[in-house]
Amino acid sequence: MHHISRTALTAVAAATLLLAAGAASAQFQSRNFRVSNGVSKEHPMGNGLAAMGACTLEKSGGKMKIQAFWDGSLGSDLTSTQSVRTGSIDMVLTSTAPVVSIVPALGVFDLPFLFNTATEADQLLDGKVGDYFSSKMPAVGLINLAWWENGFRHTTNSKRPITKFEDFDGVKMRVMQNNVYLDTFKTLGSNAVPMAFTEVYSALETRTVDGQENPFTNIENMKFYEVQKYLTLSKHAYSPTLVLFSKKIWDGLSEQEHAVLKECAVVGRAEQRKANRAMEAKSVDNLRAKGMAVNEINPAETARIREKTRVIYERHAKAIGEEPIALVTDELKRIRGQ
């Protein structure tokens, strides 16, 4: 009796194990997710994607792969985002700014001098306010897996050192394809030209434009120092990066695959932000060593520029929406303990 029941138990246990194994492999299909990036592969985005890809492979028993495409080879931020919406590309890493034409509320992040520190950006984006913006994405065919970092933006140009408001006057500046940036640089007196990131290097080289603005990491990664003399530490805006997945493809994945993608995008986030901040800390010295002249804008002048660009908040409030602006500004006050 004792012997029989043990055999029976063993058989039941074996059957259960088999069932579980079957279910586990059904949860994960062989997948290869193609990710579009505008930058080149040495960028901290590469560290983030490598960490994310190692995580998806491990958690799916080797089934889910992440394949990165660099230098805008699958398209610019905006055209890739459109391809992700239709499902012809699985994922894109993009700044929020080019996506504002699809989701106007994201324009709040383009308002000049919104964030002061990366820490407060992390707190806001990784919390319920970040979720509020992510929840707007499925309606336009996009799933935001996590918030990564593009970073604080600074100004470069080949015309003159910029150390005060008046120096922006008449400088032909490439800006992202976004009305808030366009208006901000027009308000500073520059001749602002919207253009996809993929075209910026050659536009600077041929002097189609005099300058552009981007985080240090992008200035260094894209070798803009080869075609730009002056770097001004203007820190006029912070760009978050969206990790956008195609809803069309997402809807065909299992719940377990969804969970792995979300968890691993967060694993990638930690690595990407860490690498980005480490590179940022060295970039100014590197850019100086490459021959750039680095200029600061003193605090009083920064306050003056901030004051002069304050009109952007009112002028774009309607297009962005009162609700997202209030949510972000209230949350920032809370984070800052005001």
Site for ligand TF8 in 202-231 (CB under 6 A): 214, 218
The number of residues that bind ligand TF8 (CB under 6 A) is: 12
Pick between residue 13 and residue 278 the one whose CB is nearest to ligand TF8.
278
Residue 276 as a binder of ligand TF8 (CB under 6 A): the answer is no
Cα→Cα distances 310→96, 134, 282, 305, 318, Å: 21, 27, 31, 9, 15
As a whole number of angstroms, the distance between CA 335 and CA 146 comes to: 20
Stretch binding ligand TF8 (CB under 6 A), from 87-95, 137-145, 156-164, 312-320: 87-95
94 lies in the binding site for ligand TF8 (CB under 6 A):
yes
Residues 59-78 that bind ligand TF8 (CB under 6 A): 77
Q: Looking up tokens 């602002």, which residue turns up?
A: 192
User: Min. distance of Cβ 95 from ligand TF8 in angstroms?
Assistant: 3
Instruction: Give CA torsion, residues 52, 240, 294, 163, to 10 deg.
Output: 180
One residue of 33, 35, 38, 44 binding ligand TF8 per CB under 6 A: 38
Rounded distance between C-alpha atoms, residue 87 and residue 268, angstroms: 22
Of the candidate residues 56, 95, 179, 232, the single one contacting ligand TF8 (CB under 6 A): 95
Give CA–CA dist 91/265, Å, rounded. 11
Q: How far is the CB of 185 from ligand TF8 (least distance, A)?
A: 13
**Minimum distance, C-beta of residue 68 to ligand TF8, in the bound complex (Å):** 12
C-alpha to C-alpha distances, 297 to 164, 198, 243, 265, nearest whole angstrom: 6, 28, 33, 36
Question: Which CB sits closer to ligand TF8, 34 or 59?
Answer: 34
Q: How far apart are CA 188 and CA 125, in angstroms?
A: 28
**Is residue 80 a contact point for ligand TF8 (CB under 6 A)?**
no
Contact track, ligand TF8, 147-166, x by CB under 6 A:
---x----------------
- C-alpha 56/C-alpha 58 separation (Å) is 5
Site membership for ligand TF8, residue 106 (CB under 6 A): no
Residue with smaller CB distance to ligand TF8, 154 or 316: 154
The CA-atom distances, in angstroms, between 1 and each of 12, 14, 15, 26 are 17, 20, 21, 38
Those residues whose C-beta lies under 8 Å from the C-beta of residue 287, and which sit 6 or more positions away, are: 216, 219, 220, 225, 231, 294
Pick 60 or 96: Cβ nearer ligand TF8: 96
> Could you give the dihedral angle defined by the CA atoms of residues 85, 87, 91 and 93, in that order, rounded to the nearest 10 degrees?
-30
Classify the C-alpha dihedral 114-115-121-123 as positive or negative: negative
Which part of the chain contacts ligand TF8 (CB under 6 A), choosing from 15-23, 92-100, 306-314, 329-337? 92-100
197 makes contact with ligand TF8 (CB under 6 A): yes
Applying CB under 6 A, the residues found at the interface with ligand TF8 are: 38-39, 77, 93-95, 150, 176, 197, 214, 218, 239
